[in-house]
Amino acid sequence: MTIDCIFCRIIKGESPANFVYKDEDMVVFHNIKPSAPIHVLMVPIEHIESVNSLEESHGKVISKMMIKAKEVAQSLGIRDSGYKLILNVEKGGGQVIFHLHIHLIGGWEKR
C-alpha cells in the first residue's frame, strides 16, 4: 500500500470511482479517460507495481483476475461481441499508474 497511489486511494474509498465489481481480492471500475466505448480497469487490492513485479505469491490474484474477466465482460454486455485485455508495463510500455491493472476495453460494435 503506497500512500500516494491513486488506485490505493480508490480502493480505500478516499477517491471516487464508478465501480462495476468488487471482492476481497480485486476491484473493477470505469476508466475516467476511456480509450474505447467501454473501458474498465481491473485492479488487485494488493499494491503490486507492475507485471515486472509479479512473483509466485501473486499467482492466485492474477489468475483470479484473468478468469474473472469474462464475467466482467458479460456484465458490461461485451463478452460475445469481443474485447481486449491490455497490460502496459513500465513507462515505455505505456504504464502511467504504477499499481498493476488490466485494461478491459470493447463495445466498438455498439457505436
Given the rule CB under 8 A, which residues bind its own copies?
A: 51-52, 54-56, 58-60, 62-64, 66-67, 69-70, 73, 79-95, 106, 108-109
CB of 18 to its own copies, least distance (A): 22
* Residue 9 CB neighbour total at 10 angstroms: 15
| Amino acid code (one letter) for 105 | I
Of the two residues 17 and 105, which places its CB atom closer to its own copies in the complex?
105
Buried b (16+ CB within 10 A) or exposed e, 66-82: eebbeebbeebebeeee
Catalytic annotation, pick one of 30, 47, 58, 101: 101
CB-nearer residue toward its own copies: 14 or 80: 80
- Residue 63 CB, nearest approach to its own copies (Å): 4
103 tagged catalytic? no
* Phi, psi angles (nearest 5°) of residue 12: -80, -5
Nearest approach, Cβ of residue 86 and its own copies (Å): 5
Contact between 26 and 42 (Cβ < 8 Å): yes
What does the DSSP 8-state code read for residue 79? T
Q: Which is nearer to its own copies, 27 or 68 (by Cβ)?
A: 68
Catalytic residues: 101
